[in-house]
């Protein structure tokens, strides 16, 4: 796997044209494209709300985009519901042929098990504690600090044969110390090069630090799509990040 293949680029946009521009411009420079909630619902709105002729055109563009990202897409729907609903959604997602999709670990063992059973050829990842959640808020929500809670979720995911875990880079070292977790892929948002602003992420690390700590894939959005002027274009930003990853492998 080349260094660039470890980069997951979020398509955090509100229309298909913007997403297509990003994919066409960056598909040679990143490994995966993450299709998140904003874009999922924007695609749905684009085929429901406009006049029929425009809706047909949008539908064709959506199908073209999925062909462009074939075997390089991550559906970030964060399934969180009762087990039967998660299982049914997983069946539908597997039919789409996406490479990866995710379910909230907090949905519980039965829901995760349903996702694993119904994943088809896709990989199932478990979302643990969002990188926007700090220590105090994590205690308020989950009753414990991020480290112990992520470890608890990770052990549950491994037990249920999920393929991977989504966690902040701050938990990577702790997870790497657990032999029973060695098969779990570690997909890590909250990654920011030193030259990029932190934004709304609270538990962050640089790409090189995250790879050295044990990350399998790095979710990196705005540093690539909106790089500082001194870095240059999104392609140049992606190349710079890939170079940092290569130096850490």
Structure tokens at 149: 């809670």
**Length of the chain, in residues:** 249
Strands 100-104 and 73-79: parallel
Residue 202 has a pLDDT of 56
Helix (H) or strand (E) holding 153: helix 146-159
DSSP 8-state code for residue 143: S
Q: How many CB atoms lie within 10 A of CB 248?
A: 17
CA-nearest of 103, 112, 123 to 159 is 112
Mean pLDDT of 215-242: 95
What pLDDT is recorded for position 131?
87
Residue 71 confidence (pLDDT): 92
Q: How far is CA 85 from CA 5, 35, 56, in A?
A: 32, 20, 29
> Please, what are the domains in the chain?
3-248 (3.20.20.70)
Question: What is the structure's pLDDT at 198?
Answer: 61
What is the per-residue pLDDT across 100-115, written as a single tens digit (0 to 9) for each? 999 999 999 999 999 9
pLDDT at 87: 98
Output phi, psi for 192, to 5 deg.
Answer: -140, 125
Element (H, E) at 173: helix 172-176
Average pLDDT over residues 76-80: 97
Q: How far apart (Å, rounded) are the C-alpha atoms in residues 57 and 47?
A: 9
**d(C-alpha 58, C-alpha 44), whole Å:** 10
Span 90-108, average pLDDT: 97
Asked if 78 is an active-site residue, the reply is yes
pLDDT digits (tens, 9 = 90+) for 173-216: 999 999 999 999 999 998 999 888 665 555 578 999 999 999 99
Element (H, E) at 217: strand 217-219
Percent of the chain with pLDDT over 90: 92
Structure tokens at 204: 């962050």
Beta bridge partners of 8: 32, 219
- 164: phi then psi, degrees, rounded to nearest 5: -165, 180
* pLDDT interval class at 1 (50, 70, 90): confident
What φ, ψ does residue 60 adopt, rounded to 5°?
A: -65, -40
Question: What gap in Å lies between CA 159 and CA 234, rounded to an integer?
Answer: 39
Q: How far apart are CA 153 and CA 184, in angstroms?
A: 12
Active-site residue, from 78, 145, 155, 240: 78
Nearest to 120 by CA among 134, 100, 146: 100
CA dist., res. 1 & res. 105, Å (int): 28
The pTM for the full model equals: 0.93
Whether the CB-CB separation of 92 and 143 falls below 8 Å is answered with: no
Residues 55-73: tens digit of each pLDDT? 999 999 999 999 999 999 9
pLDDT at 94 over 90: yes
Tell me: pLDDT of 117 over 80. Answer: yes
Question: Model confidence at 249, in pLDDT bands (50, 70, 90)?
Answer: confident
136-160 average pLDDT score: 96
């Amino acid at each position: 796997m080349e260094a660039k293949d470890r980069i997951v680029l979020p398509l955090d946009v509100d229309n298909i044209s913007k997403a297509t521009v990003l994919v066409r411009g960056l598909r040679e420079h990143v490994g995966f494209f993450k299709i998140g909630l904003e874009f999922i619902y924007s695609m749905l709105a684009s085929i429901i709300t406009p006049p029929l002729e425009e809706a047909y055109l949008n539908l064709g563009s959506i199908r073209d985009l999925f062909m462009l990202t074939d075997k390089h897409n991550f559906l970030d729907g964060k399934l969180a519901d009762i087990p039967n609903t998660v299982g049914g959604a997983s069946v539908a997602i597997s039919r789409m042929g996406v490479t990866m999709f995710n379910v909230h670990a907090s949905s519980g063992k039965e829901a995760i098990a349903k996702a694993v059973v119904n994943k088809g050829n896709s990989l199932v990842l478990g979302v643990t504690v969002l990188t926007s959640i700090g220590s105090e808020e994590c205690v308020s929500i989950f009753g414990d600090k991020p480290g112990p809670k992520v470890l608890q979720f990770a052990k549950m995911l491994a037990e249920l044969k999920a393929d991977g875990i989504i966690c902040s880079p701050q938990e990577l070292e702790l997870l790497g110390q657990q032999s029973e977790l060695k098969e779990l892929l570690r997909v890590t948002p909250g990654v920011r090069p030193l030259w990029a602003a932190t934004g709304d992420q609270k538990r962050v690390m640089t790409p090189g630090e995250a790879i050295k700590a044990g990350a399998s894939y790095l979710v990196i959005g705005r540093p690539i799509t909106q790089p500082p002027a001194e870095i240059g274009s999104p392609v140049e930003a992606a190349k710079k990040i890939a170079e940092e990853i290569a130096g850490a492998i």
